[in-house]
């Protein structure tokens, strides 16, 4: 059970504590923030509403702990990470339970998220030992006009305090993807989990606590973004921000100042289907890519651009599969579960109404109960409809019929997003040409967009992000290069 046994010290009464200087504390605010279960729409958990002073304390403590951590041998840092990974996996059940209750993630996917996170921590420890254990050696006479009088040694050093802000849809995994690279690289971490998903994140932090990381190295504050959000992201004690989420990332990037940023924001991931595609493969990927976790993934298929000649067959096959999707509670492992908040459901409904007014073809009847929205395929969508451009982050998928490949690429590139895209074709040359033409961070050939495996580079162009993720890239972003130059005597004084 969440909050009991191993996790009993992280809760007081019915309010979860925040984590500072190696301890679980109550906020002096005396206030809490409710977490509404998307399925029941009732308060399920409560977390502390931390104050700005408490944020200061967490950052100060992280700053102090980092100094010593940076000098801790790499193998020792890796050892602790491996320990945390094991504890995390041992506790997959109570953590997954939080994901089910807080964000309505289907039970099986919730367990997968925790296990995937444990694997990520282990891989990160191994990768860190390799790449941080290497430096470069340069000599000066390879640059014109220089003699061999300078030797340059490079190494990677940590940045300091990394602020990690994960989104609601992966509150454990997308926190871990920031925490593990930061720690192996010698940084400390201040985590601000999303409100929905905060309790799962607090359980995950406790696994790091149990692994025995030094006091203060990891801090976790909860509370309202409106009270501590800007305070955290503009805090002079923060040396790097790793953020995943929506538009808020754009305003964070404007306010953050001169520190490295790693940002994964939204996407309108297009799926281009050509006449020569393996239709069954495309259909399976469109349904999985468009509707898994009810479309609440930045990498979900968010618009299908299909060649006119095969559009009707594709739509028919997609509809057959959509009809088989189960709809209901996350506890029952349904494919489609309630979206995270009522306002998200209202936003999705707004897009559906707009498409209705503008005469899109509804392949299913629009149905909603509370936050639960039944899967919906909209055919014959046109560029004047909002759904053609905006990301619903819900189980509604638009299909645009195209006459030429160029039309599909044009639609994809006209978006302000540029996260991922995919193309289905049996012609590898065409696939590569299309990949080159699509203005997205990644193009998948014959598969739906996806972030993983977690060591692959993952990045968005345009409004979809800054910097690249993936384990190696994250370690690199969370370090800076330090050089030491050895100046030798001028050649005339050398021997021989
Ligand atoms: O929602 C954004 C995530 O980065 C998507 O990750 O492709 O593993 O579902 P995923």
Residues contacting residue 355 through CB under 8 Å, at least 6 positions apart: 378, 381, 385, 386, 387, 398
Domain locations along the chain: 5-265+465-481, 270-445
Ligand 1 site, residue 169, Cβ cutoff 6 A: yes
Cis geometry, peptide bond prior to residue 300 (ω within 30 degrees of 0): no
Are 133 and 74 in contact, with CB atoms under 8 Å apart?
yes
Is pTM beyond 0.75? Reply is: yes
Whole-number pLDDT of residue 494: 53
Specify the ligand 1 atom closest to the Cα of 169.
Answer: 1
For the domain spanning 5-265+465-481, the CATH number is 3.40.605.10
Ligand 1 site, residue 452, Cβ cutoff 6 A: yes
Compute the distance between CA of residue 64 and CA of residue 218 in angstroms, rounded to an integer: 11
SS3 content of the chain, % helix, strand, coil (to 5): 40, 20, 35
Specify the ligand 1 atom closest to the Cα of 292.
Answer: 9
What token pair was written down for 3? 């909050």
Task: For residue 455, count CB atoms less than 10 angstroms from its CB and return exposed for 0-12, middle for 13-18, buried for 19 or more.
Answer: middle
What token pair was written down for 81? 């990470």
Class of domain 270-445: alpha beta
Q: Which of 483, 472, 482 is nearest to 184 (CA)?
A: 472
Compute the distance between CA of residue 478 and CA of residue 470 in angstroms, rounded to an integer: 12
Tens digit of pLDDT for each residue in 52-76? Answer: 999 999 999 999 999 999 999 999 9
Q: In percent, how much of the chain has pLDDT > 90?
A: 97
Tell me what the mean pLDDT of segment 365-373 comes to: 98
Compute the distance between CA of residue 365 and CA of residue 52 in angstroms, rounded to an integer: 48
Centre of ligand 1 to C-alpha 299, Å, is 5
Q: Is the pLDDT of residue 492 over 70?
A: no
Whole-number pLDDT of residue 86: 98
Ligand 1 site, residue 298, Cβ cutoff 6 A: yes
- Could you tell which of 114, 263, 298, 392 is best to mutate to test the pocket of ligand 1, judged by most ligand atoms within 8 Å of the CB? 298
Tens digit of pLDDT for each residue in 200-252? Answer: 999 999 999 999 999 999 999 999 999 999 999 999 999 999 999 998 999 99
Query: Phi and psi for 437 in degrees, rounded to 5?
Result: -80, -20
Whole-number pLDDT of residue 495: 57
**How is 375-429 classified by DSSP, letter by letter?**
-EEEES--TTSGGGTS---SSEEEEEEESSHHHHHHHHHHSSEESEEEEE-S-HH
Any catalytic annotation for residue 275? no
Q: What is the dihedral of CA 42, 45, 50, 56, to 10 degrees?
A: -130
Residue with CA closest to ligand 1 atom 6: 451
Centre of ligand 1 to C-alpha 9, Å, is 31
- Could you tell which of 106, 110, 115, 174 is best to mutate to test the pocket of ligand 1, judged by most ligand atoms within 8 Å of the CB? 174
Residue with CA closest to ligand 1 atom 2: 298
Specify the ligand 1 atom closest to the Cα of 451.
Answer: 7
What token pair was written down for 272? 């281009």
Ligand 1 site, residue 420, Cβ cutoff 6 A: no
Ligand 1 site, residue 491, Cβ cutoff 6 A: no
Tell me what the mean pLDDT of segment 429-455 comes to: 98
Tell me what the mean pLDDT of segment 325-347 comes to: 98
Centre of ligand 1 to C-alpha 146, Å, is 49
Ligand 1 site, residue 105, Cβ cutoff 6 A: no
Instruction: Quote the crossing angle between the two packed helices 279-291 and 308-322, to the nearest 10°.
Output: 50
Q: Is the pLDDT of residue 191 over 90?
A: yes
């Amino acid at each position: 059970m969440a909050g009991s046994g191993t996790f009993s010290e992280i809760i007081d009464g019915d309010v979860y504590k925040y984590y500072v200087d190696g301890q679980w504390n109550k906020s002096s605010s005396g206030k809490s923030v409710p977490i509404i279960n998307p399925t029941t729409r009732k308060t399920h958990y409560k977390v502390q509403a931390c104050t700005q002073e408490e944020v200061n304390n967490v950052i100060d403590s992280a700053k102090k702990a980092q100094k010593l951590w940076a000098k801790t041998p790499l193998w020792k840092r890796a050892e602790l990470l491996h320990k945390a990974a094991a504890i995390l996996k041992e506790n997959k059940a109570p953590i997954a339970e939080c994901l089910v209750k807080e964000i309505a993630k289907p039970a099986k996917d919730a367990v997968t998220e925790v296990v995937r996170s444990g694997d990520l921590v282990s891989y990160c420890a191994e990768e860190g030992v390799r790449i941080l254990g290497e430096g470069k050696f340069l000599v000066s006479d390879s640059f014109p006009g220089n003699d061999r009088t300078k030797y340059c040694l490079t190494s990677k050093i940590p940045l300091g305090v990394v602020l990690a802000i994960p989104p609601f849809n992966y509150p454990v995994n997308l926190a871990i993807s920031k925490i593990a690279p930061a720690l192996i690289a010698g940084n400390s971490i201040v985590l601000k989990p999303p409100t929905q998903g905060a309790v799962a994140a607090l359980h995950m932090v406790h696994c790091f606590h149990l692994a025995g990381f030094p006091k203060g190295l990891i801090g976790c504050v909860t509370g309202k973004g409106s009270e501590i959000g800007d305070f955290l992201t503009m805090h002079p004690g923060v040396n790097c921000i790793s953020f995943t989420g929506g538009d808020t990332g754009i305003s964070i990037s404007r306010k953050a100042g001169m520190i490295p940023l790693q940002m994964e924001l939204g996407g309108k991931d297009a799926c281009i289907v050509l006449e020569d595609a393996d239709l069954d493969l495309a259909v399976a990927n469109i349904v999985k890519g468009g509707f898994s976790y009810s479309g609440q993934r930045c990498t979900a298929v968010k618009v299908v651009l299909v060649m006119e000649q095969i559009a009707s067959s594709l739509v028919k096959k997609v509809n057959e599969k959509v009809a088989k999707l189960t709809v209901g509670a996350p506890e029952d492992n349904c494919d489609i579960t309630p979206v995270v908040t009522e306002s998200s459901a209202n936003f999705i409904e707004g897009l559906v109404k707009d498409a209705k007014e503008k005469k899109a073809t509804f392949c299913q009847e629009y149905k909603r109960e509370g936050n639960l929205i039944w899967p919906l395929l909209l055919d014959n969508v046109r560029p004047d409809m909002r759904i053609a451009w905006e990301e619903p982050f819900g189980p509604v998928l638009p299909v645009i019929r195209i006459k030429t490949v160029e039309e599909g690429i044009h639609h994809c590139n006209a978006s302000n997003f540029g996260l991922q895209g995919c193309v289905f074709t049996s012609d590898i040359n065409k696939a590569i040409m299309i990949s080159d033409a699509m203005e997205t961070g990644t193009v998948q050939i014959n598969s739906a967009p996806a972030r993983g495996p977690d060591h692959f580079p993952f990045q968005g162009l345009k409004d979809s992000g800054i910097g690249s993720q993936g384990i190696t890239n994250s370690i690199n972003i969370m370090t800076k290069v330090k050089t030491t130059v050895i100046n030798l005597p001028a050649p005339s004084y050398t021997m021989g």
